[in-house]
Structure 1
């Protein structure tokens, strides 16, 4: 796992490093060296490099990058935006240093009613964006918006220093407008805005570089946002060579409704592929034949559409170690009765449960159901379902995804997986995991059912660590999507294709 600090936490870390004796110009020099090194590795056409700098320390980073690249023999030009009276002290120092270098410095100017003068990005082969760093708090307007618009319309490769200018560091939202970069070189830790859309779409390839800023115990202890890395799969339990299908745990999948069996199959199959010993599907009677044909390894119990009582469910609950409920279940009277019966039975058993799809829709429509969930659980809403559960508009959820997921987990005292292009797993203690795996191949019918099955399978094997199991499940699901897109393309991969690659990560 890797830390993700907020903009304020990064600024606190910078100040602490300087207060401890690390000269701020040394930090700037190391940041510039890291940027220049990463840019050179990309093998861009660097015949003519334009470095667009703002008035703050991000602009100072940019000037230093121009000097370092000039020392390597590249032709660099610095374009300064903003009035001189707003230049930071470090920017002024960097400008003084390059006075002896063959680096032209152009200052932005515009006569009233005229376009921005002396800014011709089309005359260059590479643009380095050093307009704004992590401290941007207001929407970009005026001359800065015009600069960004012309950078984006140049269609040249762009490398951003720390953050693509205009992307909110913590939320990933666009502050009026934003530079669309191909590469972002950021420092110390990743930033949420580089991984959450729409900011992620502006960041391009993200490289995190260390520049000598130590993270104090106070800062790391306060951090509650992390990314899952491939090495974290080591947290998964080791396979017991002396085990059997019973010791590898049993999952009950309550899913599907009359003549709707695909979601039940996908979620149950995914659960089995995570390594659990047995899976039983509790579904409507008409689904028995197709599920038996598709999935002979699964056990099946059934009920009749319109039923009010579910006598077999009690026995199945005693059999199970974990329950997955919701995919394809429906939201009618039968589904509601089934949901209530499951909750009643689990007041005694208190086995972990994963709530997805229609189970969440039922909770949204019948808020009293939530009060009955007093056992370890994982809720897996997408943005639309979260909106129905909370009453918050989808656009507002997207703009504050981490804080809303965290608040929801604290409210229900259980794990919440807020599914989106960058899925967030929030634990009731305030910790959140921001997923970086996956691509648009996951945007297909049934993909969420596969994710739910993976989470349920890992939850069954992970004991009480439902939050970690959920976060690892999200990561594995994303990696399976990447592998499926390599074989079938992002456009053509199906949920069934995602299943094919679960084994590679276990």
Structure 2
């Protein structure tokens, strides 16, 4: 199962279609949303008579959700105070309906328009137990205007638990950007589908626990939007993982050739090989400069090694190309790059292989760093997976790293479609793009994985899965990326993010597999 991720405009269109074309009244959707928030809020309130809630609302429909929540909590017996940032006369549509209901029920809604009126809010927060954030919703972009920054600052300094409605106020729904300040939520309740900004960094840091709730938007309305961005989940990995047949042998799970390593970089080759074996590849051969072969034979027990022609510097020589081509003949997949060192000979070898072989290619690290003619990618008959980090991507598309990070989804999608490759753009939220225009965002992983060698493990996982004949390039990349991060998340529970090593990712892979296959 995939969870679709939406932009603000996509969600706005889903809401509009549900209301105007299907005929579900907007006030009904707002009521259902408020009821779900009210249920979560009650988990934070221990004493019905004494618990006090501050509900902060804006003048838009997000504020309308907050006004409805305030009414429901008040009716349940909680002590509720409502503050609206802005003037009541500016409240429109369904939010106005809820404002009118509160006024008829004699529930006061205090305006905050000027800085002087913030003192009352600050005083009230001192004796409160919970804050409901219904200030801004998904419509904001750029810096916050008016008095909102001051309100959010007071909320964050209160150290009270905050439940944000749909998205923490101040976080851009499409990008996760926070231009100046945003609500630091304890929990965020988002409706129908999560917004991109709740998953992408830095927005994800403000979300707290993310809960996705169904408010009755028809599935067919969502489906017809053709949303092309998905969040990878345990369930999706469970569905994609190949089944290990009882009547099988090593050939069933494929033959992988890994071309890697140079003097001082045998660790990269070792990590990739071990990872590919750990994920279930049948036969793995590591082709390496010949002077390093004995080192690899000591490091690797389960993988085979093959010595290749080398330069005086302990890197692959031009003559290695013919040797690699012979090895490829009876292999299913070729992975190339980890630890090779970027030299002219490597450029020639990688370029030649891109042109000559129709086998599936996984290209990483120094294999990426020597690709200069991107047009070759379009001409390949075989499938290609590229796994750049932002620095490598910057070189490939001639854009700054800052630009790459700000526009990661756009860059990945355009590159994948233009050159016909599966692109894995590494980062705090790794992006996977396919030539068909589909995007997958990986939620697993942590800062402990930001160390040399982690990428080599990922390359090995992808290649090891691809060697297994019933796994396609999209599935292999998705599975490997998610399990790679999940193994890291499980490892840091024992080791901390400071002490996590790339080899630990391989050690914890079996635990990660158990998590995603618990009901397989």
1:132-156, Cα deviation, whole Å (9 max, x unpaired): 1122234212201211122222222
Distance 2:219 2:408 in 1: 25
1:5: how far off? 2.3
Q: Which runs of 5+ in 2 are unaligned?
A: none
Distance 1:261 1:22 in 2: 62
Hey, what does 1:70 align to over in structure 2? 74
1:236-279, Cα deviation, whole Å (9 max, x unpaired): 22112222112210111111111311111111111111111011
Distance 2:225 2:101 in 1: 39
1:89: how far off? 2.6
1:323: how far off? 1.0
Q: Is the 8 A contact 2:59 2:90 kept in 1?
A: yes
Q: Does 215-224 or 477-486 show the bigger shift?
A: 215-224
Distance 2:222 2:201 in 1: 29
1:55-84, Cα deviation, whole Å (9 max, x unpaired): 001001111111212222221111100123
Matched, 1:189 2:200: no
Taking the TM superposition and a 5 Å limit, the aligned residue runs for 1:349-360 are: 350-360=358-368
Taking the TM superposition and a 5 Å limit, the aligned residue runs for 1:4-403 are: 4-19=5-20, 20-42=22-44, 47-99=51-103, 101=105, 103-110=107-114, 116-120=118-122, 121-216=125-220, 219-220=223-224, 222-232=226-236, 233-303=238-308, 304-306=310-312, 307-310=317-320, 311-346=322-357, 350-363=358-371, 365=372, 367=374, 370=377, 373-403=380-410
Distance 1:32 1:410 in 2: 41
1:101-122, Cα deviation, whole Å (9 max, x unpaired): 57442210326xx684432134
Normalized against structure 2, the TM-score is what? 0.91
Q: Does 378-387 or 130-139 show the bigger shift?
A: 130-139
Distance 1:220 1:479 in 2: 32
Q: Is the 8 A contact 2:82 2:109 kept in 1?
A: yes
1:85: how far off? 3.2
Normalized against structure 1, the TM-score is what? 0.93
Tell me, what secondary structure is at the counterpart of 1:319? coil
Tell me, what secondary structure is at the counterpart of 1:448? helix
Q: Which runs of 5+ in 1 are unaligned?
A: none
Q: Is the 8 A contact 1:387 1:394 kept in 2?
A: yes
Tell me, what secondary structure is at the counterpart of 1:445? coil
Taking the TM superposition and a 5 Å limit, the aligned residue runs for 1:387-466 are: 387-461=394-468, 463=470, 465-466=472-473
1:150-205, Cα deviation, whole Å (9 max, x unpaired): 22222222110001111111211124422111211000011111111011111111
In the alignment of these two chains, the number of paired residues is 500
Tell me, what secondary structure is at the counterpart of 1:222? coil
Hey, what does 1:498 align to over in structure 2? 505
Aligned CA-pair RMSD: 2.2
1:380: how far off? 0.8
